[in-house]
Amino acid sequence: MTTILQRSFFARSTLQVARDLLGMRLVRLEGEQRLAGLIVETEAYVGEEDLGCHARAGLTPRTQVMYGAAGHAYVYFTYGMHWMFNFVSEAEGFPAAVLLRAVLPTDGLDVMRRRRGRAADSLPPARWTDGPAKLCQALGIDRRCNDLDLCAPGAEIFVESAAPILDASVTIGPRVGLYTVPEPWKSLPWRFRVDNPSLLEA
């Protein structure tokens, strides 16, 4: 039986949440259409002290969602064209989140493939959603999803429990794309990745 992850799951150490989300199933409901994928890559962004985290600038209109209750979605726009999806973590008032970097499509493949367009041609499903902006495009996630409560009854986006991933199948390393972020933040091993996503049972 599957259960929906509740707020207590997200209201923990961000590193623990990022690790434990691996293998869980992200579900996106669009009316009758169910889109879903197994989470296979995440990154942790933890507090104002973390110079890789948007909250380094403190409380602003953009970052206020990260200061709110755990279990909400923090969705932001970057590079002039891309949306990114995050799970808010930790206690209310402490700004932190887990960036979703990749999923393995399991439900609604036809819709996801169509949304990815030519970039999906001749590639297996795992390659349609192996980047933070790619999966947002495939799942139809944009600014309307910012601050959604993933733990509310009837939520359009939520996470279902699934088979946990063994430590032996997880690679931990530095976060991606923090070119101008100073050490030690740039190199902290706060990225969690399932080694062979395509081997996971869909």
Partner DNA sequence: GGCCCGATACTCT
Partner DNA sequence: GAGTATCGGGCCC
* Separation of alpha carbons 96 and 79, rounded Å: 21
User: Is 196 among the residues that bind DNA (CB under 7 A)?
Assistant: no
Q: Minimal CA–CA distance to 19: which of 44, 49, 45?
A: 44
User: Is 189 among the residues that bind DNA (CB under 7 A)?
Assistant: no
User: Is 43 among the residues that bind DNA (CB under 7 A)?
Assistant: yes
- Element containing residue 132 per DSSP (H, E): helix 132-139
Site string for DNA, 135-174 (x = CB under 7 A): ----------------------------------------
Q: Which two tokens stand for residue 116?
A: 């990815």
Report the nearest approach of DNA to the CB of residue 93 (Å): 17
* Separation of alpha carbons 63 and 69, rounded Å: 13
- Element containing residue 111 per DSSP (H, E): helix 109-116
Q: Is 173 helix (H, G, I), strand (E, B) or coil?
A: strand
Interface segment toward DNA; rule CB under 7 A; list 23-31, 105-113, 132-140, 156-164:
132-140
Interface segment toward DNA; rule CB under 7 A; list 21-29, 126-134, 147-155, 157-165:
126-134
Q: Which two tokens stand for residue 153?
A: 């009854």
User: Is 176 among the residues that bind DNA (CB under 7 A)?
Assistant: yes
Among 60, 171, 187, 198, binds DNA (CB under 7 A): 60
Among 5, 25, 41, 45, binds DNA (CB under 7 A): 45
- Residue whose token pair is 């002039």: 80
Q: Which two tokens stand for residue 51?
A: 């110079």
User: Is 5 among the residues that bind DNA (CB under 7 A)?
Assistant: no
Residue 71: exposure state from Cβ atoms within 10 A (0-12, 13-18, ≥19):
buried
User: Is 94 among the residues that bind DNA (CB under 7 A)?
Assistant: no
Q: Which is nearer to DNA, 8 or 60 (CB)?
A: 60
Residue numbers of the site for DNA (CB under 7 A)? 43, 45, 52-55, 57, 60-63, 74, 76-82, 84, 86, 97, 99, 116, 118-119, 131-134, 175-181
